Every structure is written in structure tokens, then in C-alpha cells.
Amino acid sequence: MVHIPRVTENGRLGPVDSSRVPRYGGAPTFALLPRLDEAEAAGRPPGIVVAGVPFDSGVSYRPGARFGPGHVRQSSRLLRPYNPASGTAPFAQAQVADAGDLVVNPFDLGAAIEAVQAGALALTAGGASLLALGGDHTVALPLLRAAVERAGRPVALLHLDAHLDTWDTYFGAAYTHGTPFRRAAEEGLLDAAALCHVGTRGPLYGARDLEDDRGFGFGIITAADVYRHGADAVAARLAARIGDRPLYVSVDIDVLDPAHAPGTGTPEAGGLTSRELLEILRGLRGLDLVGADVVEVAPAYDHAELTGIAAAHVAYELITLMAQRRADRDGAGAGDGATGPHEPGDAR
């Protein structure tokens, strides 16, 4: 399969050159980026790795998120190397590569969780940051375990989702897509002073759900709060809460309204717009983002790639944050693609 990665001005391997290979052709990597083996063979070990986690055996309603990673990759073909919202070229600031999909047992939840954790640790062994494409939200728990092991301390968590995902069990099962953050809190993975849900909405089983959630230390910014106060105010509030702690960001695509993301397993009316979600993420610049996931994309319920495109752009903004953090830490400048964000009225 033809794969001609563009070399950035500082020698990193970037996306395929779309002037030589049409965007709808070539290898189906995220944003047409080089494969992990290509980057390593070129002597460019990645600072950021994208990996799929094709698993949905933890869902409680509509299945299909096991096909999410491939769908998000397909929907990412139109992403381009320069991000005008941040004024940076993330694929020039850091070497980014697609590691393909982890091999995850679809029949054994325990084995699947162990495989995801082991895979995440292997991919970050050289110091790379990991962006995972799910898969259902069960996978957030092993990804958090790996991120905490690498960080060496509990992490702040920003959880963007229509649901709390701090329930105890479903049908007696402790590990499902509705329980990862309860288990993470119980395991001591989370910094209880810096936990927040964003975008929650819809009915609950009872008031006890909120009481339990508060007991773990979570603050809640509902979808209605985002609507009333705006994305900039929400991002500022989150940044103040998180501070300089290592941060893990977990994005369930159902945080978006079904009008923007119909292709998901547990849709709820009244969600965020794509614009609001992207602006909240952009407002996190400068935070110590150590890992992230984008989950619950179920392509069987998607149409016109609405959900896949939204998820691909969310992943792109998370990569941008990771690349910016690495560039800031390493003291990189304009040579790594930083030119300043686009301003209103700027004709650049």
C-alpha cells in the first residue's frame, strides 16, 4: 500500500503528502500519519502514539464501539498538519505515529483489561504519550492504571461524558463501561482534589448516584452549565482546579448532543455542540496532559461520518495539547511550527 509521509522542516515524519497520494487512498492511519514501525525505522521514535482499542464487551445498551478505532481513522483523513486555533503544527512539534490496534480478548473482561494495560505500558515505555481510540469506556480503567504507573502518582481526571460512569456494578459485574471511574477511585489512581465530569445530563437511577460521585471527589459541570456559562469560562474553571497536576483526559463521544454524534451506544439529548467541546479542550493548553482517550464511537449508528469526524477532531486537539506541552517543556520555538493562534479579523 502506498505510504509517502511528508517530512517536516525539522525532520519529523508527518502525514502523507496529499499532493502525491489522494486523501481517500493510502494506508488508513490516523490523520494519514506514519505507522509506528515507519517512524522507528527512520530513527524517529514517537513522542506521541495513537493506538486503537477495539473492544465493546463492557457495554450496557447498544454495541458496536469495537469498530470505533477504524471508523475514527477513516474519518480523520481530512485533518491537516497546521492547527490555526493553537497556531501550531502538532506533527512538527512532536513525532506522532499510529501503532495500530491493541489485541484485546472480546470474551473475557479480565483478560481484556490486562491486555489493554500491558499494551499501554509497552507503547509508553520510551516516554511517549498515548492517545487511545476506543472501544467502550471500560478501557479507560486499564489506560488510567498505565498512565498512573508512568506518572508515578495519582492523576487529575477530566471526564467529558453524558454519564457519571461511577456506578458500582451491572448485573453483578464490577468492570463495565459504566464503572471505570469508581474502580479507579477505589484503586487510588485519582487525585481526589482534581476530578471533574463535564457535559453530564439526563436521568439517573436516584439521588444516591450523585452522593456516591461526590464522595469520590468529583465536581460536575453539566451540559446546561456549559450552555449557560460558555466554553471559555468552563475551561478556565477546569484549569484552575487541575493546576500543575498530571492530567488524564477521557472523552466519551456521547458528551456531544446526538445531533452532533449519533453514532454512539448510549445517546442522551441536550448535549454539547462540537464547537463547545473543541473550545473547552483548546482552553486546557499548558496543562500536564499525560494521557487521553476518545471512546464510545459506534459506527453502525453513524451517518455521513458525523460522529467519526467529531471524534477525529477531538483526538487532533488532544494531540495538539500533548505536542504543545512537549514543546513547552523542551523549550521548542517557531522552528517546531509555533506561529501563534489565529485571531479574529486576522487574514493569515
Q: Report pLDDT digits (tens) over 10-49.
A: 779 999 888 888 889 888 999 999 999 999 999 999 999 9
Task: Grade residue 347 by pLDDT with cuts at 50, 70 and 90.
Answer: very low
pLDDT of 2 > 60? The answer is: no
Q: What are the boundaries of each domain within the chain?
A: 5-332
pLDDT of 334 > 50? The answer is: no
Q: Residue 344's pLDDT is what?
A: 58
Q: Which of 48, 51, 52 is nearest to 129 (CA)?
A: 48
pTM tops 0.85: yes
Cβ neighbours of residue 178 closer than 8 Å, sequence gap 6 or more? 60, 137, 163, 165, 167, 170
For domain 5-332, give the CATH superfamily.
Answer: Ureohydrolase domain (3.40.800.10)
Average pLDDT over residues 113-124: 98
Backbone angles phi, psi at 190, to 5 degrees: -110, 140
Contacts by residues 78-81 (CB-CB < 8 Å, ≥ 24 positions apart): 78/23, 78/309, 79/15, 79/31, 79/32, 79/312, 79/313, 79/316, 80/15, 81/6, 81/8, 81/14, 81/15, 81/337
Average pLDDT over residues 256-278: 98
pLDDT tens-digit readout, 68-94: 999 999 999 999 999 999 999 999 999
Alpha carbon distance 33, 16 (integer Å): 6
Which residue type occupies 111? A
Task: Grade residue 265 by pLDDT with cuts at 50, 70 and 90.
Answer: very high
Q: Residue 38's pLDDT is what?
A: 94
Beta-sheet strands, E only, within 46-122: 48-53, 96-101
Cβ neighbours of residue 299 closer than 8 Å, sequence gap 6 or more? 64, 67, 68, 70, 71, 263, 307, 308
